[in-house]
Amino acid sequence: MFDTAFWIKNQVYGNRIVLFAPLYVSSPCVNDCVYCGFRHSNEAVEKRTLTMEELAEEVRVITSVGHKRVLAVFGEHPDSDVHYICRALETIYSTKEGRNEIRRANVNAAPLSKEEYEIVRDVGIGTYQIFQETYHQDTYRRLHPKGTLKHSYKWRLFALHRAYEAGIDNVAIGVLFGLFDWRFEVLGLLYHAMDMEREFGVGPHTISFPRLEPALNTPFTTRSPYLVKDEELKRIIAILRCAVPYTGLILTARERPELRRELIRLGVSQTDAGSRIAVGGYKEMEKETIWDRQQFIINDTRSLDEFIYDLCQDGYIPSFCTAGYRAGRTGCHFMEFAKKGLVKNFCVPNAILTFKEYLLDYASPRTREMGESVIENYLQQVEQWQPVLARKVREYLARMEAGERDLYV
């Protein structure tokens, strides 16, 4: 089954791994989720909302190492309303220094009304991500106390239906594994994906499967009876890849480096790298952990360059591609390619081009040397199944050597 999952992923997307950086923009929250370090009642964690100037400084650090896409994360609080989210996205896109820029900003934020989604849509977001956390209703109500906005199971369950109705056609779902039995949660994810496809003709653009991790003054994270073991997580990823082959699967830096290496082979298509999850944490990159400003602990603090080097060693091609979003390959149009296994015709060439940018502008000498051989290997593969496209990619690579950037298929 593990081999099948890896085969499916390569048939649909090719052997590329898309990279992004999580960007925590605000942490004050009106909710009191039992498992969350940012819960309203947890006074041990400092809550912060970045000013636009502070946010721009975070973006400059993220882009200075080569990132081109971020996942902007917001707490559910009046100070982080839809208008703040829009200002933050505008700041992220407009903060540029030379060749350093963010080309795609995805959002992880609270459920919105249809009218609010329309406002966010017009700013130009990539994917809107909302995790149900747990699909088990009794567990959901127990972990999300009454009197909080998040207590309403159905408001959250149908949040991305409203996003679709507002014209946002790339949405993302996920579960926080460890809150209830993982088998039930996997089925919840699959039924959610099936329902979206039935209602709107397009399933989730990505599915995430984070596990509970320790957080400051949050004992539930280590005492839950449903904590997921490493072998169970492997099964979760393989099942999702086989059951929802067209969907991107996101692995996070919550997991240890050696385990991430094993998990990526089971069908993962996206992951973060060089991550800091404290609000304002990129400004303090030398600190791997800032306990009193983080939502939870991360276990992989490798730099982006170190992570990329390890990917290359394992035969993957790193990708910073944002072309699908900007070329209109979203929603149903994207699924049309993905379900037929054709999206890799775009993914692999664009991975080559964006990886070349990284090697030219940001890579360490050893990563550059390793990366050039990876690019040549994948170019030869493209030449075997699309020789005309391969010639175009080689032409683009030559233009990039001469100084051009942001060339894509």
Q: What is the CATH number of the domain that holds 126?
A: 3.20.20.70
Residue 406 in any domain: the answer is no
| CA dist., res. 292 & res. 294, Å (int) | 6
| CA dist., res. 277 & res. 293, Å (int) | 8
Residues 113, 7 share a domain: yes
Residues 201, 255 share a domain: yes
| Count of CB atoms situated within 10 Å of the CB of 291 | 16
Residue 248 in any domain: the answer is yes
DSSP classification of residue 108: E
Select from 288, 307, 339 the last residue of a domain: 339
What pLDDT does 326 receive? 78
Residues 348, 227 share a domain: no
Please give the tally of structural domains in the chain.
2
Residues 148, 7 share a domain: yes
Residue type, 205: H
Residues 330, 377 share a domain: no
| CA dist., res. 108 & res. 94, Å (int) | 20
| CA dist., res. 54 & res. 85, Å (int) | 14
Pairing mode of beta strands 206-208, 248-251? parallel
Angle of CA points 379, 384, 388, to nearest 5°: 75
| CA dist., res. 244 & res. 174, Å (int) | 13
- CA dist list (Å): 318 to 19, 104, 154, 239, 279: 7, 16, 38, 24, 26
Domain residues for the domain of 311 are: 2-339
Tokens standing for residue 165 = 């109705």
Q: Are 144 and 33 in contact (CB under 8 A)?
A: yes
Residue 409 in any domain: the answer is no
How many Å separate Cα 211 from the centre of its chain?
Answer: 15
| CA dist., res. 250 & res. 19, Å (int) | 10
Residue 150 in any domain: the answer is yes
Residues 325, 179 share a domain: yes
Residues 282, 208 share a domain: yes
Q: Are 348 and 16 in contact (CB under 8 A)?
A: yes
Biggest alpha carbon–alpha carbon distance for the chain: 61
What pLDDT does 385 receive? 86
Residues 315, 386 share a domain: no
Residues 379, 331 share a domain: no
Pairing mode of beta strands 128-129, 171-174? parallel
| Count of CB atoms situated within 10 Å of the CB of 353 | 24
Q: Are 221 and 214 in contact (CB under 8 A)?
A: yes
Residue 408 in any domain: the answer is no
What pLDDT does 96 receive? 97
pTM of full prediction above 0.85: yes
Residues 276, 199 share a domain: yes
Note down pLDDT in tens along the chain; length 409 residues.
999 999 999 988 889 999 999 999 999 999 999 999 999 999 999 999 999 999 999 999 999 999 999 999 999 999 999 999 999 999 999 999 999 999 999 999 999 999 999 999 999 999 999 999 999 999 999 999 999 999 999 999 999 999 999 999 999 999 999 999 999 999 999 999 999 999 999 999 999 999 999 999 999 999 999 999 999 999 999 999 999 999 999 999 999 999 999 999 999 999 999 999 999 999 998 888 898 999 999 999 999 999 999 999 999 999 999 987 777 777 776 777 777 777 778 889 999 999 999 999 999 999 999 999 999 999 999 999 899 999 999 999 999 999 999 999 9
